[in-house]
């Protein structure tokens, strides 16, 4: 089939978006291809379609378990064989997936960059029919990017040693500066004579960016949501507490809202996300744990109650608005305290070397790992228990874990959902014989087959202990007990559910004095983070330059015209419209002549887009003494009497 036939058959689209065709053709022509498409620009199709157009398998390297699982699920819904290997999986499940991949039964295999380094995967890689290597979130390969993952640096070595020279390759990302783009190509060993780079403009003509300095952010948020009262909204905050408090505030003011953060159970997160996607609630107030893999087209406004650390992160999160290409708004709120806190966060993100070593030693003690043990072993991680046992503080410990991850010593997955899974390890005939010899387990074995089918013999299937208990008219705990009995007898492989954070040791446990912590690179990364923060602060605090143009300049687009729709551009338009100012001034006088109002009460009478001009008029009048303020902060306008 042609690439257009593939698009129509599996995705139901009649045509590609801008640049997708060129990117796909570049891959199929054998070029090392770098594709930069903004959030919602259709990056995944750029490797999924060419993979469907060739024989063999596509190996996808991705850093996020949630994103891998989401894409695998979407492909499977389209009838495309896909699987993912990630930390926390049962060893038998890994073996089954690799065996199916070797037999050509899997079209897309998603792996983390850490998986490429394991002895098992490297031993099996030459047996896998890999025709296309896709590196998602490719900015992670650059220490100048905003989410550096050192394991990405080993991808080129893996390709050179274990994949045929003719293996096709594509790297994809939503955001990258010129420095990061250059780094991606160098670190992946792109061929000078066989490389193509495609970059779609980061401009979003339908998205209006605005920034407001606000002390009362809740009041401002309410006004924004009342002004943009159609479609759905995302409100980003920095803490779980703020998520809950902001959602409660909105509900008190009759705005349909709920909160979302990583501290919720997976069932709670699924329910809240589903309700928002189905428009059963209008506003989701969330930490940055929300949004990955979600492509909701009718988000009309994204509000940041607090600024993130980088323009890359802001652009990605704000870009979740207006994916249907209709008018949408990205609004950021800040105050002076926020700027101070942002700078403090960078300092806190790089704890002293001694604290990093202390946390590493505490982890070794927590899991009772001897020196030389633990390589690629995965453990559940209870942060609260860990902190209490070793008398550690939360924030410095969290950042120490991130620095250990950055130095490729461990992988810290803050939270992901893995349902219960079962695979029958013996043949159907042997399983039947087992039932005959163990009548006390016969009923349980029959229900297992009836609910989950014969596929349970060839692969791990997701199960729900509660459903088994209901079918057997017993308690869930009794079902778990019987599953564990079958596992102990080596009849099944049973993996319990988890939504807890995970720690994976990427190297054998080391003596703490021998930790290979690159302190020079840590200092360089800290300096990088401060530079990125200053770029963000400049974006937020300035009010003279087009906000879209600042974003595009940051990402290397220097020939873009003023957007005309951000708050700065709109303000300039108003300033060149004296007639508009005159009409507003007359209206303000008319209102204040009848009633004393506070600035907030007066502003609320007018449209949201007129707020800045109204405040400018009021400030000028206060300076001139044309209006005064009462002790209750009400504006007072004294009309002049006509003289004869």
Q: Residue 417: pLDDT band by 50, 70, 90 thresholds?
A: low
Interval 421-449 mean pLDDT: 92
Q: Say yes or no to pLDDT of 505 above 70.
A: yes
Q: Say yes or no to pLDDT of 628 above 90.
A: no
Q: Residue 644: pLDDT band by 50, 70, 90 thresholds?
A: very low
Look at residues 195, 26, 89 and name the one whose alpha carbon lies nearest to residue 420.
89
Q: Which pLDDT tens digit goes with each residue over 545-568? A: 999 999 999 988 877 778 888 999
pLDDT at 292: 64
DSSP letter, residue 474 = S
pLDDT at 105: 95
Q: Which residues contact 589 (CB under 8 A, 6 or more apart)?
A: 637
pLDDT at 623: 67
pLDDT at 372: 93
pLDDT at 643: 36
Tokens of 320: 């979740």
Q: Which pLDDT tens digit goes with each residue over 137-169? A: 999 998 777 778 888 999 999 999 999 889 999
pLDDT at 642: 40
Of residues 414 and 626, more confidently modeled: 626
Least confident of 310-319, 334-343, 439-448, 634-643: 634-643
**pTM for this prediction:** 0.75
Interval 174-190 mean pLDDT: 91
382/155 Cα distance (integer angstroms): 31
pLDDT at 585: 87
pLDDT at 266: 74
Interval 611-625 mean pLDDT: 76
With the C-alpha atoms ordered 399, 400, 404, 406, is the resulting torsion angle positive or negative?
A: positive
Phi-psi region of 556 (alpha: psi -120 to 50; beta: other; left: phi over 0): left
pLDDT at 416: 62
Burial of residue 419 (number of CB atoms within 10 Å: 0-12, 13-18, 19+) = middle
Tokens of 586: 């007359």
* Cα-based distances in Å from 524 to 101, 350, 477, 532, 535: 41, 11, 52, 12, 17
Determine the length of the chain.
Answer: 644
Q: What percent of the chain has pLDDT over 70?
A: 96
Q: What percent of the chain has pLDDT over 90?
A: 55
Q: Which pLDDT tens digit goes with each residue over 32-85? A: 999 998 777 788 999 999 999 999 999 999 988 778 888 999 999 999 999 999
Q: Of 106-110, 542-546, 614-618, where does the model show the most confidence?
A: 106-110
Q: Residue 624: pLDDT band by 50, 70, 90 thresholds?
A: confident
pLDDT at 56: 94
Interval 175-196 mean pLDDT: 91
pLDDT at 641: 42
Interval 322-329 mean pLDDT: 88
DSSP letter, residue 436 = H
Q: Residue 332: pLDDT band by 50, 70, 90 thresholds?
A: very high
Of residues 208 and 91, more confidently modeled: 208
């Amino acid at each position: 089939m042609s690439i257009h036939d593939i698009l129509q058959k599996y995705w139901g689209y009649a045509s590609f978006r801008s640049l997708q065709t060129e990117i796909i053709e570049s891959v199929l022509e054998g070029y090392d291809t770098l594709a930069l498409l903004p959030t919602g620009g259709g990056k995944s199709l750029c490797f999924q379609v060419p993979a469907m157009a060739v024989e063999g398998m596509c190996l996808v390297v991705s850093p996020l378990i949630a994103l891998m699982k989401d894409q695998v699920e979407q492909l499977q819904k389209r009838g495309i064989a896909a699987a993912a290997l990630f930390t926390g999986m049962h060893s038998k499940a890994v073996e089954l997936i690799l065996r199916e991949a070797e037999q050509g039964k899997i079209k897309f295999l998603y792996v983390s960059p850490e998986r490429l380094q394991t002895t098992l995967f490297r031993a099996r890689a030459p047996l896998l029919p890999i025709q296309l290597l896709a590196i998602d979130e490719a900015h992670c390969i650059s220490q100048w990017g905003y989410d550096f993952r050192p394991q990405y640096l080993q991808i080129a070595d893996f390709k050179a040693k274990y994949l045929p020279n003719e293996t096709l390759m594509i790297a994809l990302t939503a955001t990258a500066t010129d420095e990061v783009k250059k780094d991606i190509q160098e670190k992946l060993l792109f061929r000078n004579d066989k490389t193509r780079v495609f970059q779609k403009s980061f401009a979003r003509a339908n998205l209006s960016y605005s920034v407001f300095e606000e002390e009362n952010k809740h009041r401002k948020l309410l006004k924004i949501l009342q002004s943009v009262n159609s479609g759905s909204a995302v409100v980003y905050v920095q803490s779980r507490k703020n998520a809950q408090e902001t959602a409660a505030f909105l509900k008190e003011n009759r705005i349909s809202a709920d909160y979302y953060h990583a501290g919720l159970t997976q069932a709670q997160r699924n329910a809240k996300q589903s309700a928002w996607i189905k428009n059963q609630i209008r506003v989701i107030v969330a930490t940055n744990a929300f949004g990955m893999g979600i492509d909701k087209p009718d988000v009309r406004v994204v509000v940041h109650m607090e600024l993130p650390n980088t323009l890359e992160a802001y652009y990605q999160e704000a870009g979740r608005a207006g994916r249907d290409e209709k008018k949408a708004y990205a609004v950021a709120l800040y105050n002076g305290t926020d700027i101070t806190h942002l700078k403090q966060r960078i300092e806190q993100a790089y704890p002293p070397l001694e604290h990093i070593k202390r946390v590493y030693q505490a982890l070794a003690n927590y899991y009772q790992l001897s020196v030389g043990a633990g390589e690629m072993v995965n453990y559940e991680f209870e942060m609260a228990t860990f902190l209490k046992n070793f008398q550690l503080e939360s924030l410095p410990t969290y950042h120490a874990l991130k620095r250990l991850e950055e130095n490729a010593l461990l992988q810290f997955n803050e939270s992901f959902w893995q349902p219960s899974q079962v695979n029958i390890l013996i043949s159907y005939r042997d399983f039947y014989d087992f039932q005959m010899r163990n009548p006390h387990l016969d009923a349980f074995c029959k229900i297992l087959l009836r609910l989950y089918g014969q596929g349970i013999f060839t692969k791990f299937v997701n199960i729900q202990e509660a459903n088994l208990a209901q079918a057997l008219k017993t308690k869930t705990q009794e079902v778990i007990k019987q599953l564990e009995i079958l596992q102990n007898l080596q009849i099944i492989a049973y993996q319990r559910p988890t939504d807890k954070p995970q720690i994976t040791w990427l190297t054998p446990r080391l003596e703490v004095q021998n930790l290979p912590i690159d302190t020079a690179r840590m200092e360089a990364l800290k300096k990088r983070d401060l530079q990125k923060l200053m770029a963000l602060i400049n974006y937020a605090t300035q009010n003279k330059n087009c906000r879209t143009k600042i974003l595009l300049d940051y990402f290397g687009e220097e020939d873009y015209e003023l957007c005309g729709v951000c708050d700065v551009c709109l303000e300039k338009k108003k300033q060149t419209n004296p007639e508009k100012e005159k009409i507003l001034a007359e209206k303000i006088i008319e209102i204040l002549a009848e009633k004393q109002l506070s600035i907030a009460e007066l502003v609320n009478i007018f449209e949201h887009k007129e707020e800045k001009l109204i405040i400018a008029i009021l400030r000028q009048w206060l300076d001139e003494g044309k209006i005064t303020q009462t002790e209750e902060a009400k504006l007072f306008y004294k009309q002049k009497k006509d003289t004869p």
